[in-house]
Amino acid sequence: MSRVNIKVLADQLQLSVSTISKALRDSYEISDETKKKVLELATRLNYVPNPYASSLRRKKSKTIAVVLPEVADNFFSLAINGIQSVAETKGYHVLIYLSHEKFANEKTILEDCQSGRVDGVLISISSETNSADHIYKLQENNIPVVFFDREQEAIETARVTTNDFDCGFLAANHLLQKGCHKPAFVSISQSLPICLNRVNGFKAALHKAGIPHYDNQIIYCPDNDDMYKQIKSILQSDQRPDGLIASVEKIVTPVYLACHELHIRIPHDIKIIAFASLDTAPILNPPLTTITQPAFEIGKAAATLLFKGIEKSSFDLSKEKLVIPSALIERESTM
Amino acid sequence: MSRVNIKVLADQLQLSVSTISKALRDSYEISDETKKKVLELATRLNYVPNPYASSLRRKKSKTIAVVLPEVADNFFSLAINGIQSVAETKGYHVLIYLSHEKFANEKTILEDCQSGRVDGVLISISSETNSADHIYKLQENNIPVVFFDREQEAIETARVTTNDFDCGFLAANHLLQKGCHKPAFVSISQSLPICLNRVNGFKAALHKAGIPHYDNQIIYCPDNDDMYKQIKSILQSDQRPDGLIASVEKIVTPVYLACHELHIRIPHDIKIIAFASLDTAPILNPPLTTITQPAFEIGKAAATLLFKGIEKSSFDLSKEKLVIPSALIERESTM
């Protein structure tokens, strides 16, 4: 069975394509009698309008893009749920693009988004991204952009983030209060604002407590594949930290595995705290203290702002900076 | 700056829209000199073709839909990565739709997919779905459909699954060998083939071992919110199982939490095994024995078959049934 389109309806009713199209759009040019005939046949044949054709008429694709580094991370999968919850009420589709933490992929994706395929873009940038041109081009093409979680600071637009600096400070203070003398911060990027803000909060807490610099205070693990080896070698060194803050969720498993393998006891020999939305945090060995971000709420708020920008071109997105605070949930890994 | 479209190019070059369009499509009707002028201006103004307009010409949207229950599950997020890896090489977009385990959502999504928005659909059905009409309608509209993991058995098309019956059998045998006398199977659906096949494998192993029926042999937990309470009440009953097989990943956290709260020791008092792709399985308390599905490979194989169906309408998808085996990884939860 071939697809039922306007031409099929026109042929069967012996009317012109233009008449059918106008009838379906309830145009005043068409009689009620004809409209009724067209609608009856359209319903009977299960006619569905082609969204590309109607997109061209409306100049709206009724689609937004969500560009993010990966979905195998509970923060992002929960944020997607928050975004979808808003898009559904607006009758919009959500196109999910993954950059896999590569700047080149992100650039290609945004070039594609310029072409009318989407009405707006929600983006959480890759850990490699430290240029803004590819995002600026979207704005030049009148496509509203909203950042969530990971932002590119040079771009003026709405952003929904969490209180990363405060949480870095809070996490470091928590470790110091629990008796750590040499806590370390494990980061995946030297340029991502979320990582920088968390690191800066960590440093500020150490500074305030009068703790001098030591080796391995900040550890960069940009590469997923090397993470386990790199962490293990630091845990085996003379400069072993007595506390670790994992800046993102995927650092948790390699850290725990390395500690288990080296018989380094958590929390006795080393205390661990992670920025993570892991469902399994309370059942890890031992249960993991987390800074838990309001992932669903961040997604929801970012989507809400984006739709304001899409629906009303006069709405000034650049004035919108929303910070939704995270919470420290204490468990045995820092007791 | 407004978007650069064919009309802008036509105005600037004082040519007709039709001439510009033909020049960009390299038509023989247009002189080389004009083509050169058009291309130079298009390049200079950063012109990007509107994909909806060119989709209408080609009758291809260059987009596939992936319909799945949720992304907050490592199986699905890894499968998405497998699908994306194929779509990227084909220059296709991936539209990700979430049914949130609701049949009504899935139905609306597939109605939308009928309309020319996508060239093909990869689907893993919701736990509520036991009708096939909504999928059949897609096929009637000549949109190829491929199932991955969770299939609707009434529909004739390609499917990529894992050896669910064998794995149910394997999991039950593993528990029996480890000394369980009353193992139970925890499922989320009485109709999903993956759950039924796993349950049937479980039952077959019990039957083969000559184990008679007992209460709580099969436990259904269709509702996420009630899962923890339901599992806790079974663990508190006189008919407490001495082994548990979790049919999907999201059952793991409530099971472990309930055991911890009730001071039921894993694996001493109860042995646990789960169908799960959890990154954190080896660092749980205790490390979790899993049936680990080849999630990435399943996604990749399903996408490869779908593109065969899209590229060649004579390709008979209904003949393709691929089974990629899972592996049992033994850890402390069943020792």
Classify burial at B331, counting beta carbons within 10 Å of its beta carbon; exposed 0-12, middle 13-18, buried 19 or more: middle
Mean pLDDT within A73-93: 90
Q: Which chain A residues contact residue B43 at CB under 8 A?
A: none
Q: Which residue of A has its CA nearest to B117?
A: A51
Q: How far apart, in whole angstroms, are the C-alpha atoms of residue B125 and residue B151? A: 6
Give the alpha-carbon dihedral of A60, A63, A65, A71, to 10 degrees.
180
Identical fold, B59-162+295-325 and B164-292: yes
CB A71 within 8 A of CB A100: no
Q: What is the residue whose two structure tokens read 């939305």? A: A277
Question: Residue A1 above 70 pLDDT?
Answer: no
- Measured CA to CA, the distance from residue A191 to residue B224 in angstroms comes to 39
Categorize the per-residue pLDDT at A72 as very low, low, confident or very high, splitting at 50, 70 and 90. Answer: confident
Considering only the beta carbons, identify the residue of B72, B260, B282 that sits closest to A81: B72
Q: Does the distance separating the beta carbons of B80 and A141 come in below 8 Å?
A: no
State the DSSP code for B283. G
Report cis status (omega within 30 of 0) of the bond before A267. yes
CA atoms lying within 13 Å on the CB side of residue A319: 5
What is the rounded distance in angstroms from the CA atom of residue A309 to the CA atom of residue A312? Answer: 6
The answer for A53, left when phi > 0, alpha when psi is -120 to 50, beta otherwise, is alpha
Cβ-based contacts of B77 with chain A (< 8 Å): 70-72, 77
pLDDT for B290 beyond 80: yes
What is the percent of chain A where pLDDT is above 70? 96
DSSP secondary structure, A50-65, as one string: -HHHHHHHHT---EEE
Average pLDDT over residues A243-270: 96
Rg (alpha carbons) of chain B, rounded to whole number: 26
Classified as helix, coil or strand, B167 is: helix
Tell me the chain A residues in contact with residue B83 when contact means C-beta distances shorter than 8 Å.
none
Please give the structure tokens belonging to residue B14: 């004082």
* Residue B313 touches partner A, C-beta closer than 8 Å: no
Among A50, A114, A141, whose Cβ lies nearest the Cβ of B116?
A50
Q: Is the pLDDT of residue B49 over 90?
A: no
pLDDT tens-digit map of B304-330: 999 999 998 889 999 999 999 999 999
Strand pairing partners for B327?
B292
Cβ separation A253–B280 shorter than 8 A = yes
Do residue A252 and residue B278 have CB atoms under 8 angstroms apart? no
Residue B63: the pLDDT is 87
pTM of the model: 0.78
Q: How confident is the model at residue B258 (pLDDT cuts 50, 70, 90)?
A: very high
pLDDT of residue A57: 44
Of A149-153, B181-185, B244-248, the range with the lowest mean pLDDT is A149-153
- B positions 87-126 inside 8 Å of A (CB): 93-98, 111-112, 114-117
Higher local confidence (pLDDT), A29 or A267: A267
Contact B77 A84 (CB under 8 A): no
**CB-CB contact of B144 with B317 (8 Å):** yes
Res. B253 pLDDT band, cuts 50 70 90: very high
Q: Do B77 and A81 touch (CB under 8 A)?
A: no
Q: Which fold has domain B59-162+295-325?
A: Rossmann fold (3.40.50)
Kindly identify which residue of chain A lies nearest to residue B143, measuring between CA atoms. A3
Cβ–Cβ gap B286/A282 under 8 Å: no
Contacts A–B by Cβ distance under 8 A = 143
Span B95-122, average pLDDT:
87
Residue of B48, B252, B285 lying closest to A114 (CB–CB): B48
- DSSP letters spanning B35-87: HHHHHHHHHHTT----HHHHHHHHT---EEEEEES-SSSHHHHHHHHHHHHHH
What value does the mean pLDDT take over residues A33-47? 84
Q: B9-37: per-residue pLDDT in tens? A: 888 898 888 888 888 877 777 888 888 88
Min Cα distance B256 → chain A (Å) is 7
Half-sphere CA count of B111, side-chain side, radius 13 A = 10
Query: In B, which residues are within 8 Å of A98 by CB distance?
Result: 80-81, 84
Predicted confidence (pLDDT) at residue A256 exceeds the cutoff of 70: yes
Residue B85 backbone dihedrals phi, psi, to 5 degrees: -60, -30
Kindly report the CATH number that applies to the domain delimited by A60-161+295-324.
3.40.50.2300
Residue of B nearest to A286 (CA): B285
The answer to whether the CB atoms of A77 and B71 lie below 8 A apart is yes
Q: What is the pLDDT of residues B133-165, one digit of tens each?
A: 999 999 988 899 999 999 988 999 999 999 999
pLDDT of residue A51: 57
pLDDT bracket for residue A59 (50, 70, 90): low
With 60 as the cut, is the pLDDT of residue A100 above it? yes
What is the per-residue pLDDT for B300?
97
Decide if A286 touches B, using CB distance below 8 A.
yes
- 36-65 in chain A: CB under 8 A from chain B: 46, 48-53, 55-56, 61, 63
Average pLDDT, chain B: 90
Q: Work out the average pLDDT over B89-106.
A: 87
Q: Which chain A residue has its CA at the smallest distance from B74's CA?
A: A72
The four Cα atoms B151, B157, B160, B161 give a dihedral, to 10 degrees, of: 40
Whether B253 sits inside 8 A of A283 (CB atoms) is yes
- A240, exposed or middle or buried, with CB in 10 Å at 0-12, 13-18, 19+? middle
Q: Mean pLDDT across the stretch A129-155?
A: 92
Q: In B, which residues are within 8 Å of A286 by CB distance?
A: 285
pLDDT at B58 > cutoff 60: no
Chain A CB contacts of B52 under 8 Å are 52-53, 55-56, 61, 116-117
**What are the tokens at B10?**
């036509």
Amino acid letter, B144: P
Q: Which chain A residues touch B282 with a CB distance below 8 Å?
A: 253, 257
> Which pLDDT band, with edges at 50, 70 and 90, does A71 fall under?
confident
Angle at alpha carbon of residue B225, lines to B221 and B226, rounded to 5°: 50
Q: How far is B208 from chain A (nearest CA, A)?
A: 34
pLDDT of residue B70: 84
User: Is the confidence at residue B204, as pLDDT, over 50?
Assistant: yes
Give yes or no for B142 touching A (CB within 8 A).
yes
For residue B52, pLDDT over 60 is answered with no
Task: Report long-range pairs for B179-182 (Cβ below 8 Å, ≥24 apart).
Answer: B180/B241, B180/B242, B180/B243, B180/B271, B181/B211, B181/B242, B182/B214, B182/B216, B182/B217, B182/B239, B182/B240, B182/B241, B182/B242, B182/B243
Burial environment of residue B152 by CB neighbours within 10 A (0 to 12, 13 to 18, 19 or more): buried
Strand partners, B145: B121
CATH number for B164-292 (one of 1.10.760.10, 3.40.50.2300, 3.40.50.620, 1.10.1040.10): it is 3.40.50.2300
Query: CA B106, CA B68: separation in Å to the nearest integer?
Result: 9
- What is the overall mean pLDDT for chain A? 90
Residue at A186: amino acid letter: V
Contacts of A70 in chain B (CB under 8 A): 77, 81
Contact B290, B330 (CB under 8 A): no
Pairing mode, strands B120-123 and A120-123: unpaired
Residue B100's pLDDT is 84
Ranges of each domain in chain B: 6-49, 59-162+295-325, 164-292
